[in-house]
Amino acid sequence: MEINITRVGRAVLHVTDLEASKRFYVDALGFYETESDTDHIYLRGYEEQNHHSLLLKKADKPAVEVVSFKVLKEFHLEMLAELAVKNNLPFKWMEKGTQRAMGRTLRIQDVSGLSLEFYAEMEPVESLMQRYDLYKGARIQRIDHINCLVPDVQKAYDFFRDELGFRCSEYTEDDEENLWAIWTHRKGNVHDQAFMNGDGPLLHHVGFWLPDPLALIHACDVLASMGMADTIERGPGRHGLSNAFFLYLRDPDGHRIELYFGDYFTGDGDFKPKRWSVHDKTRQTFWGHEAPDSWFDEASPFLHVISGEEIKQEKAKLTLYKPDFTL
């Protein structure tokens, strides 16, 4: 029986200043604040029916506690625990009640060092999709994907494909057919989890789905009007990979958020993954403008699921390819 992972579920980020984070995520971008206390802010998009998809936790330094995936039934968590034992992976049970709004969860350190969490139950809430009177900022609808830097993309993909049942939508190869980056999914769009070659394990970004491309433009206007234009790192633009509109932002602690809209359906059994050459400059930005160095060189560290200590990065076996846009 296959472990039935349905979709990406949430990200848990450590931040140093909750008030600054609230100004960025709630006041500027328009995330809906489900609830908060002195140490936590629970955020979601307007169409989501679970308690949160982004949890911000006050801490002394920025880090990624876990990225989470929803499974269909509770017994899939037991299957994942067996998988962790089989692969000699560190894991930790978090019983129901130990985390606000969460049922029982399983945390695993995967083969790349990523801190993964799996859950079947989260407290339900009312969808606000048609509460247009509440919409503001980027009008965030839902969490869409996670993108991580790892030193061995093939190893990461093999684990997610063979053990977790993820399927490839698009990928990038060099001239020797080495895998440089890959986009994998469970929910039937371009990706729930992507991997790019680089130092790691690191979280490159969390992607959130918007209602339309104009929301990207409006988000830029709101950020600029609030004196936060310097949080805009890259875009707006359209990706070659995924065909989606994008805008990359950096929150007050440097965590990268992508605002994202307009990819395509991959759930058909006849769907064939698309290959890109690492030399094709349109794969990253279909319109051709260059990504800044920070987009390649900076990302957020993971914490170990058991020790809670920052995971030491492994040096990439390959260097991230930066296309020559002067050609």
For 115-149, what is each residue's pLDDT tens digit?
Answer: 999 999 999 999 999 999 999 999 999 999 999 99
Tell me the chain's radius of gyration from C-alpha atoms.
Answer: 19
Bridge partners, 181 (sequence order)? 172, 196
Length of the chain: 327
DSSP string, 229-247: GGGEEEEEEE-SGGG-EEE
pLDDT above 90 coverage of the chain, percent: 90
pLDDT at site 233? 98
pLDDT band for position 153 (50/70/90)?
very high
Please give the pLDDT value at position 326.
32
The three-state DSSP-derived secondary structure of 82-119 is HHHHHCCCCEEEECCCCCCCECCEEEEECCCCCEEEEE
* Closest alpha carbon to 299 in 257, 247, 236: 257
For the chain, counts of helices (H) and of strands (E): 5, 18
What confidence score (pLDDT) does residue 61 get? 97
The arithmetic mean of pLDDT across residues 34-59, rounded, is 98
Q: What is the CATH number of domain 5-119?
A: 3.10.180.10
Count CB atoms within 10 A of the CB of residue 276: 17
Instruction: Indicate the range of 118-122, 171-175, 237-241, 288-292 predicted with least confidence.
Output: 288-292
Is pTM beyond 0.85? Reply is yes
- What confidence score (pLDDT) does residue 319 get? 57
Residue 158 binned pLDDT confidence (cut-offs 50, 70, 90) = very high
Predicted local confidence at residue 327, as pLDDT:
30
Where are the domain boundaries for CATH 3.10.180.10 in the chain?
A: 5-119, 139-301
- Confidence class for position 74, pLDDT limits 50, 70, 90: very high
Helix (H) or strand (E) holding 9: strand 5-15
Q: Is 314 exposed, middle or buried, given 0-12, 13-18 or 19+ CB atoms closer than 10 A?
A: middle
pLDDT at 320 over 70: no
Give the CATH number of domain 139-301.
3.10.180.10
Q: Which residues contact 216 (CB under 8 A, 6 or more apart)?
A: 138, 210, 235, 236, 245, 246, 247, 259, 261
- pLDDT single digits (tens) 196-255: 999 999 999 999 999 999 999 999 999 999 999 999 999 999 999 999 999 999 999 999
What is each CA distance from 127 to 5, 22, 94, in whole angstroms? 22, 21, 27
CB atoms within 10 A of CB 38: 6
What is the structure's pLDDT at 321?
Answer: 52
Residue 311, C-beta contacts closer than 8 angstroms, at least 6 positions apart: 113, 115, 201, 301, 302, 303, 304
